[in-house]
Amino acid sequence: MSVNYVSTRDLKKNQITASQAILKGLADDGGLFVPTSIPALDVSLDKLADMNYQQVAYEVLKLFLSDFTEEELKHCINSAYDSKFDTKEIAPLTYADGAYYLELFHGATIAFKDMALSILPHLMITSARKNNIKNDIVILTATSGDTGKAALAGFADVEGTRIVVFYPKNGVSAIQEKQMVTQKGDNTHVVGIKGNFDQAQTGVKQMFNDKALAAELDAAGFQFSSANSINIGRLVPQIAYYVYAYAKLLKEEKIKYGETINVVVPTGNFGNILAAYYAKNMGLPIDKLICASNENKVLYDFFATGEYDKNRDFILTNSPSMDILISSNLERLIYHIAGDDAAENAKLMESLKTSGKYQITPEMKAKLDSFYGNYATEAETCATIKKVFNDTGYIIDTHTGVASNVFDKYKAETNDSKTTVIASTASPFKFTRAVMGAIDPAYEKEEDFVLVDKLSELGKVAVPNAIEEIRSAAIRHDTVVEVPEMCAEVKRFLGI
């Protein structure tokens, strides 16, 4: 059965193919693309248990990306999940303190965004070819730190693509900046702006919406595209690792055939946990989807009350990738629990836009019974990191710490003892200072790279390549521009 895509806000339900949805990113009406139906897994769990990561990924991707050939998909998968990852397993499971940590941080930038951003460039280039697009694809991104580097690493040296990343010159951490400005690849361009993240984001959006600029680009053989997290080319590859984790537990006889497991996901934009929801709806035996938030607990309140309300203070925490008040991917869940009703969804999203909040119906809320939401404060997160380390010697990062703490709360509330997988979304080396400070506040006065070596010693894990590289790597990008010069800078890089 072939799966097409519709916008969550399109009352007419116009369908486009997967490759067209990947190229477009966001629908013209502002909605997100969702599959016309969620396909069921068509190989048995036993068979999946004998497959490696790439093979499992193929079994998932072939169902959602119906207009790709087997050869195309396998090429994309093998180009993505290769030696850029520091383990053949790609996403290994580690047991510690009563849960299986699914380590999604073994890619180029040691955070889970690599799972999707290492394959998206290949899906995009293949999509362009399938749709007879001759132009080179130019990815434009504004970043507050992490996404920019993961996108750069994914697109670097991918033929037929260019990538330009804008970041606030004084608004990212020293390590994040070093990671970006040392990026290799002649098709990459990193630009600091004299402004904040919102100004970078607005500048990028203006370029996307500029029709004259699009025509100028087209004449020179280029067109813009976006790598942001609402692209289905990022969502679909994330489903694969939940299937892989289940298959692995089965293979290692940690669970019986068909036994249900719980999944805990540290959540920000709701992409990762939505992938788990899709996996469940494909027939993977998942019981509870446990949504873990930090102090920006808009989702916890939503699951508790059925009201989504972003009107509140934005809190900066030590799990910055979850500091989000508008979880964009939640719109897809809203559409599904409304019974794939675009009119109902569009009404709620309009309310979000005008008043910053919306309330779902009791019928919709009843469809959320597989979700459990809770949150962890910064102090609770630090205490959990310390406890897991003291009990087991395993060191988790701050985002994963939020998930682990929420899992403890879930167990205390429910006495549920099902086998549980916690999505471990970043290497502790990415947040060394906060992690080491949680283990012992005395570390807080040490230098970053001293802490890196201490962490390696304490956790008995080698320093990841991504960190080793930036110790000594040469700076390759030193362009800084004023906000109004962003567009001119893009043209200069493209030679037009």
Ligand X SMILES: *Cc1c(COP(=O)(O)O)cnc(C)c1O
Q: By C-beta, is 113 or 280 nearer to ligand X?
A: 113
- Give the binding range for ligand X (CB under 6 A) out of 62-70, 111-119, 249-257, 459-467: 111-119
Site string for ligand X, 125-154 (x = CB under 6 A): ---------------------x--------
CB 323 within 8 A of CB 314: yes
> Given the structure tokens 């994914």, which residue do they identify?
154
Binding residues for ligand X restricted to 166-185, rule: CB under 6 A: none
CB 369 within 8 A of CB 288: no
Closest approach of ligand X to the CB of residue 238, in Å: 8
Q: Rounded to 5 degrees, what are φ and ψ at 469?
A: -55, -45
**Residue 358 forms beta bridges with which residues?**
308
Burial per residue of 340-358, b for 16 or more beta-carbon CB atoms within 10 angstroms, e otherwise: ebbebbbebbeebeeeebb
- Give the binding range for ligand X (CB under 6 A) out of 109-117, 296-304, 307-315, 467-475: 109-117
- Residue 111 touches ligand X, criterion: CB under 6 A: yes
How far apart are the C-alpha atoms of 144 and 172, rounded to whole Å?
A: 6
Report the half-sphere exposure of 418 (CA within 13 A, side-chain side).
21
Q: Hey, what are 420's tokens?
A: 């549980």
Q: By C-beta, is 314 or 417 nearer to ligand X?
A: 314
Q: What angle do CA 430, 433, 434 make, to 5 degrees?
A: 90
- Residue 322 touches ligand X, criterion: CB under 6 A: yes
Among 81, 241, 270, 443, binds ligand X (CB under 6 A): 270
Site string for ligand X, 419-438 (x = CB under 6 A): ------xx------------
Closest approach of ligand X to the CB of residue 321, in Å: 3
Q: By C-beta, is 232 or 322 nearer to ligand X?
A: 322
- Give the binding range for ligand X (CB under 6 A) out of 85-93, 207-215, 266-274, 463-471: 266-274
Among 272, 296, 345, 405, binds ligand X (CB under 6 A): 272
Within 12-52, residue ranges assigned H as helices are 18-24, 45-49
- Give the binding range for ligand X (CB under 6 A) out of 35-43, 45-53, 107-115, 180-188: 107-115
CB 483 within 8 A of CB 472: no
- Give the binding range for ligand X (CB under 6 A) out of 35-43, 183-191, 240-248, 262-270: 262-270
Sequence-distant (≥ 6) Cβ neighbours of residue 361 within 8 angstroms: 306
Query: SS3 for 161?
Result: strand
Q: By C-beta, is 263 or 322 nearer to ligand X?
A: 322
Closest approach of ligand X to the CB of residue 258, in Å: 28
Query: SS3 for 50?
Result: coil
Closest approach of ligand X to the CB of residue 364, in Å: 21
Among 7, 269, 317, 384, binds ligand X (CB under 6 A): 269
467 CB neighbour count, 10 Å cutoff = 21
Q: What angle do CA 222, 225, 229 make, to 5 degrees?
A: 165
Binding residues for ligand X, total number by CB under 6 A: 16
Among 321, 374, 384, 432, binds ligand X (CB under 6 A): 321
Q: What is the DSSP letter of 150?
A: H
Tell me which residues are annotated as active site.
113
Q: For binding to ligand X (CB under 6 A), which residues are involved?
A: 111-113, 146, 266-272, 321-322, 399, 425-426
